[in-house]
Amino acid sequence: MQRLAMDLRMLSRELSLYLEHQVRVGFFGSGVGLSLILGFSVAYACYYLSSIAKKPQLVTGGESFSRFLQNHCPVVTETYYPTVWCWESRGQTLLRPFITSKPSVQYRNELIKTADGGQISLDWFDNCNSRCYMDATTRPTILLLPGLTGTSKESYILHMIHLSEDLGYRCVVFNNRGVAGENLLTPRTYCCANTEDLETVIHHVHSLYPSAPFLAAGVSMGGVLGSSPASGSLLSRKHRHMFVKQIDMDHVMKAKSIREFDKRFTSVMFGYQTIDDYYTDASPNRRLKSVGIPVLCLNSVDDVFSPSHAIPIETAKQNPNVALVLTSYGGHIGFLEGLWPRQSTYMDRVFKQFVQAMVEHGHELSSM
C-alpha cells in the first residue's frame, strides 16, 4: 500500500504539471474545467495503479530457475506499467506495428538448401564491430524466429537485433519458406507442427560457430515453432502455381477463416487426416514436459490469440526447465509501456535481460 500511495502521488503530480503547462484555464472560461480534469485524472490514476499496473505472475517448475531469474532477470518480477492510454488487449495488439520504431539493420542474406530440394532464407546480423566479443568464433549467436507470416523486417525482430547489438551478440533470422521474397523450389511451405526446417537451420548455424554460445528467441508462432496455425504466405498468387497439382487452390482461396484455410490447405499438404489431428499435433502443450533446456515464456493473460485458459500452467510446474511470465495486460506481441512507446517494450526488456543472463550466468543453472 505504501508503494501504491507513492506511485499515485507521483503520477498525480506529473499529471498536474502537464495540465498546468499544456491547458489554458481561459479555454474553459474558469478554473472549474481544470478542476474537473484534475479530478478525473486522479480517479483514473487510482484505477490504473490499483487494477492495471501489476507484477507479472512467475510460474516455474523448480526453485533453481526461479532464483536464477530473480537474480539475473529482475524484470520478470517488477511491476509492468502498460501505456496509460493503451493498455487494453486489442489496442496493444493492433497498435504495436504502427507505433513502435523500426531500427535500421543491415543484413547479410544466405540461402540454404533443404533435404527435399527446397531453400530457406536466413538474414544475418554479424555484429562485426562487437567490442565485447571481437572473436567471431566465440561471439554469442541468437537465432530469431518471427511470428506467423513474419520476416526479418518486423519491428519486434529489429528491436531484438538492436538490443543484441548493444550486448555484442550476433543474430540470424530464420525466415520460413516463401515469406521473405525467395522462390519456392518445392510444393511445400511450413506449418506449426513440423520442425524439420528449424532443425536444418539449427544444425547449419551451429556448424558455422560450434564454439559460440547459441540461443533462440521466438515470437508468437516462432515461440513454439507455430503455436498459432496457418501459413498465410500462401495467399500470394506468387506461390499458388506450385500447389495446383496436389491441392484445389480455388477452394483454398475461398477460405474465410484460418481454420478453413488450414483444413483445405495446411493439413492436406502435411498429410493430416483431419484438421483436429493437425491442431492436436501443433499444440505446444503436449511437448512442454519434454523440454530439456531452460526456456522462458512470456504471455499476457489478455492475449486474444493465446488466452489465459489455454496456458499450460500446471504442466509448466512439472518441468524444472520451464518458466512462464504471465502479465495481466499486453495483448499479442504488444507489451507497450511508457507514455509514447516508440523505442522499447516490456517484451524487449525481458528478451535483453534473459539472453544476457543465459550467456553470462547460464552455467549457474547446471550447477544448481
**DSSP 8-class letter at 264:** I
Q: Which of 89, 303, 306, 344 is catalytic?
A: 303
Give Cα 201 distance to the centre of its chain. Answer: 20
Does the CA dihedral 34-36-39-41 come out positive or negative? negative
Residue 309 neighbours by CB under 8 Å, 6+ apart? none
Q: Long-range contacts of range 235-242, CB-CB < 8 Å, 24 or more positions apart? A: 236/178, 239/178, 239/184, 239/189, 242/184, 242/186, 242/187
Respond yes or no: is residue 159 known to be catalytic: no
Respond yes or no: is residue 303 known to be catalytic: yes
Q: Cβ distance 249 to 363 under 8 Å?
A: no
Pairing relationship of beta strands 322-327 and 57-60 according to DSSP bridges: antiparallel
SS3 330: coil
Residue among 121, 327, 158, 143 nearest 218 (CA): 143
How many Cα atoms occupy the beta-carbon half-sphere of 55 within 13 Å? 11
Respond yes or no: is residue 332 known to be catalytic: yes
SS3 89: helix
Phi and psi at residue 21, to the nearest 5°:
-90, -25
Distance CA 100, CA 341 (A): 6
Burial class (CB in 10 A: 0-12, 13-18, 19+), 276: exposed
Residue among 325, 301, 340, 361 nearest 85 (CA): 340
Q: Cβ distance 135 to 171 under 8 Å?
A: no
Q: Which of 130, 155, 220, 344 is catalytic?
A: 220
DSSP string of 135-199, one letter each residue: -TTTS-EEEEE--TT--TTSHHHHHHHHHHHHHT-EEEEEEPTTSSSPPPSSS----TT--HHHH
Q: Which of 164, 231, 332, 344 is catalytic?
A: 332
How many of the other CB atoms lie within 10 Å of CB of 164? Answer: 25
The residues annotated with a catalytic role in the active site are 220, 303, 332
